[in-house]
A and B are shown apart, each in its own frame.
Chain A
Amino acid sequence: MSNPSESDARLLERIGAGRVAARERRARRRNFATAFLFMAPALVLVCGMLLYPVAFNVWMSFTDWRKFKGLDTFVGLRNYERLFGQIYFAEAAFNTMIWVVASLVFPVLLGLGIAILLRGVRFETTFKNLIFLPRVLAPTAVGVIWFYVYAPAGLLNYLLSLLTGEPVSIGWLYQANTVTPAIIATHVWQTVGIVMVLLLLGLSAVPRDPVEAAQMDGAKPWQTYFHVILPILTPTLVVVAIISVLAGFTAFDLLWVMGAGYPGQRTLSLVVFMYFEAFQKGGWAFGGAVAVVIGVLVLLVTWVQALLQARAERMVR
């Protein structure tokens, strides 16, 4: 026979524990109600203004929606089929790929090069601020400035004619083979500063000991960079690379301002193509399909980023 007082105590304890659990559950529910009130404005704005449009966009890309008609006619994948038969789409997609690769390679390489170059040089801060300066301007203002730098009678042609001794008047922004590189160069000019600052932040986090140990062992500067600093910098580089790729995918302002005079403006990138199809030609559903393609590509990049970041973090550990 068990001790009655002991089982009583246990029973009481259990009742007590149950009461505490119930109280906690009640408190959590009350907490949720309060927390929900605190989150409500954010939830309303995000769901109503951001998530609902995305859902709407995906759904209507399967309809025949054009100006004033067809939001209720489903056509399945026809918009997407039409897309891949379009020569303008192919050209826009190709140019977007150039943008993505160029805005990954050039800002990161130049940013890394300048970051390494400027470390420890005299007037380091002044140089850094100068390189960062374009970033402070709005892309639209930058586009206006460079529109005239590239103009037939603009700064670039003037400098070229000084160099060659002959008058140069190339319409950089009006020719199919120069317009994209020209705008990308402007983009690089503006973004190298931020890439450099982020990389310098990463470099300043590199611990002194392994670097000095390598130098003690007689490592050449480039060996130190490649085998000691670069691996530690990898997580920062991943972040910077992803930011650069996404910026390349979704670039609009510069293209819109600087490409305004280019005859084939819609082919400059997928984003500009989408704007043309939807807002200038009224093909809502077709433009929506382009937006979905851009969205899928961006999600893909974000997913790759998550994978790379996880791996980079494991590498550091």
Chain B
Amino acid sequence: MQATIDRHDYDAIARAEAARRKGGWIVLGVAILVSLVWLAPFYYLLVSVFKSSTEYASGSPLALPQGFSPIVDNAIRVWTDAKFGWGLANSAIYGLIGASVAVFIAAMAAFGLTRLDFSGRTFWFMLIFSGTVFPFQMYLIPLFFTYQQFGILNTRFGMILFYCAICVPFPVLVLRNFMAGLNREMDEAARMDGASDWRVFFSIVLPNARGPMLALFLLQFTWIWNDLLFSTVLGNTPEIRSVMNALQVFQGAYTSAGPNIALTGALMASIPTVLLFLFLRRHFMAGLSVSA
């Protein structure tokens, strides 16, 4: 009996394999074609950043660069004209502080919501989570006005404050679900031994939530790094701008400088998050699956 089932399965597998092999070459061809279309802008980006302005203007957009050295000049121009150093440093500060503070605060809230018994927990959760319901456009004008009144418009403090706030609600959702699934016996045991709630949070729940917290940190860091809208409204001076805002301003103001220079800026602004993604893809995918 066992043998017939096995042979039966092998037959099915073999038939499926044969069918796939028959159509395989066509499918492979289509897949290659689609990938080429998808890659063309990347190819264009990579050959353009190695061209000088005259070389870019005289040759075809697809031509290979004559050498690698012009990228240094391009990068220097972006660095000085767009104040890109400020932009990169600002975005790093906003992303690191904003994302880590927000995820920590979210973990605290999730601990309060899941590890302590009190009535009305759903209400408090919904109150925090309602921060994700409204589109960003509804925050802009009031925040701009309020920031102006408190004198924190165009300051790093103001930018960090906002990024901390906007990055709290979603991690609360994820960490609440995660912490609700953690075994509560550990908490009780620690409390029996006289540990305070803070101690339980810090030494028992936090270490267990490291995985999702790292994934959330990466998601929120990337979100802050990529943000253009809030930097345009709340922090639009050369010293405060995020890197994406600096890139946009540069591209708008220096279109005559040549595409090769603006494209070098686009590449420089992208490298940090692309590297993060490549090295920590596993964690990004974990974050992706929790967010879906």
Contact = CB atoms under 8 A, between A and B. Distances in A.
A158 B133 CA distance: 44
B248 A257 contact: yes
A122 B166 CA distance: 42
Interface stretch (B69-77, B181-189, B228-236): B228-236
Contact of A212 (B12, B48, B130, B248): B12
Contact of B39 (A45, A130, A294): A130
Given A48-B165, A114-B34, A145-B41, A54 B139 contact: yes
Contacts of A290: 137
A138 B244 contact: yes
B27 interface: yes
Interface in B1-27: 12, 16, 20, 24, 27
Contacts of A34: 112, 116, 197
A151 interface: yes
A279 B164 CA distance: 24
Contact of B262 (A35, A37, A144, A288): A144
B148 to A, nearest CB: 11
A57 interface: yes
Contacts of B116: 31-32, 34-35, 38
Given A53-B138, A253-B228, A302-B133, A41 B12 contact: no
Nearest to A261: B255
Contacts of B128: 39, 42-43, 46
A141 interface: yes
A1 interface: no
Given A120-B20, A257-B251, A298 B38 contact: no
B139 to A, nearest CB: 4
A28 B244 CA distance: 48
Interface residues of B, number: 89
B144 A144 contact: no
Nearest to B265: A144
A45 B165 contact: yes
- Which of A35, A48, A57, A302 is packed against the most chain B CB atoms within 10 Å? A35
A49 B162 contact: yes
A215 B142 contact: no
A278 B144 CA distance: 10
B225 A138 contact: yes
Contacts of A261: 255
Contact of A253 (B44, B144, B197, B229): B229
A66 to B, nearest CB: 12
A53 B131 contact: no
Contacts of A299: 133-134
A144 B108 contact: no
B18 to A, nearest CB: 13
A51 B109 CA distance: 17
A52 to B, nearest CB: 7
B251 A147 contact: yes
B228 A118 contact: no
Nearest to B284: A136
A32 to B, nearest CB: 4
A134 interface: yes
B245 to A, nearest CB: 8
Nearest to B15: A215
B41 A140 contact: no
A68 to B, nearest CB: 11
A12 interface: no
B111 A38 contact: yes
A274 interface: yes
B118 A144 contact: no
B140 A291 contact: yes
Interface string A145-174: 111110100110010000000000000000
Interface string B248-292: 100110010001001101110110011001000000000011001
B127 interface: yes
Interface string B148-171: 000000000000011011101100
A236 B273 CA distance: 27
B292 A201 contact: yes
A158 B34 contact: no
B66 interface: no
Given A31-B117, A122-B24, A294 B112 contact: no
A307 to B, nearest CB: 16
Contacts of B248: 140, 143-144, 256-257, 260
B68 interface: no
B209 interface: no
Contacts of A49: 139, 143, 161-162, 165-166
A292 interface: yes
Contact of B138 (A36, A148, A291): A291
A50 B28 contact: no
Contact of B277 (A53, A136, A302): A136
Interface string A57-92: 110100000000000000000000000000000000
A23 B78 CA distance: 67
29 contacts: A31-B116, A31-B118, A32-B118, A32-B119, A38-B201, A43-B128, A46-B168, A47-B127, A49-B165, A51-B131, A53-B142, A53-B143, A121-B27, A121-B28, A127-B35, A133-B39, A137-B274, A138-B225, A138-B269, A141-B267, A144-B247, A144-B262, A256-B229, A257-B228, A291-B135, A291-B140, A294-B137, A295-B138, A298-B133
Given A46-B127, A291-B135, 5 more contacts: A46-B165, A144-B265, A149-B44, A239-B292, A291-B141
Query: What 8 A-B pairs have minimum CB-CB distances, sorted nearest first?
Result: A38-B112, A49-B165, A35-B112, A42-B109, A53-B142, A56-B142, A138-B226, A32-B118
